[in-house]
Amino acid sequence: MIQTTVPGRQSQVMRVSKPVAQSQPANTIRSGSVNPRPAALTSQQLLISAQRELEMARKMRMQAQRYLQDTEMKARSEAQRLLLQTRISIRKEAQELIQQTNEEIQKVLADIRVIRMTAQEELAAQKKFTDAARLRSFTLSLKKDELEPEEKKVKKPARTKQAVH
């Protein structure tokens, strides 16, 4: 008896019986000669049995090849699906990162605008203080000029500094 299984399939057990050699009955033996008929049947049965086994082996091999092809095709399909899924998830994550970055950039730009406006307001305030200080200085100088007699108003020529060589 021979038992075989196909890999990856449910257990399939095939049982093939070998023909049992038949012993010749005593009445068929005649004076040392063997009857060729039973021996021919036995070899013919062996040939038929071997051909059946060969055909079954071929069928099993074809089934195994089909199973291999199906498995390979499924594996390729699954691999392509995983690659596609990975690409999609990477693109999605990249888009999310880009969106987050854009939001952060907008926040920084808004902060910069606030800082710029504050600086402009501070500059305007400083200009006002400077103008007020000039006006006060000018007013004080006018008052001082009114109080001083006119003879002191004569200006003396300013000394020029000579360059030392």
Summarised one tens digit per residue, pLDDT across range 88-131 is 999 999 999 999 999 999 999 999 999 999 999 999 999 999 99
Domain ranges for the chain: 37-116
Is 95 exposed, middle or buried (CB count within 10 Å of its CB: 0-12, 13-18, 19+)?
A: exposed
- Res 17: pLDDT: 52
Cα-Cα-Cα-Cα dihedral of 90, 96, 100, 101, to 10°?
40
Considering just the CA atoms, what is the radius of gyration of the chain in Å? 57
Instruction: Name the β-bridge partners of 16.
Output: 2
Q: What is the mean pLDDT of residues 6-18?
A: 50
Give the range with max mean pLDDT: 12-26, 39-53, 55-69.
Answer: 55-69
Residue 138: pLDDT band with limits 50, 70, 90:
confident
Record the pTM: 0.42
Top-confidence residue, 159 or 111: 111
CA 111 – CA 90 distance, rounded (Å): 31
Give the integer Cα–Cα distance in Å for 68 and 62.
10
Using CA atoms of 98, 104, 107, 111 in order, give the dihedral in degrees to the nearest 10: -130
64, 6 in Cβ contact below 8 A? yes
Given a cut of 50, is residue 155 above it in pLDDT? yes
Check pLDDT > 80 for residue 57: yes
Mean pLDDT, the chain, rounded, equals: 79
Residue 28 has a pLDDT of 47
d(CA 148, CA 143): 9
Closest CA to 119 of 111, 133, 134, 135: 111
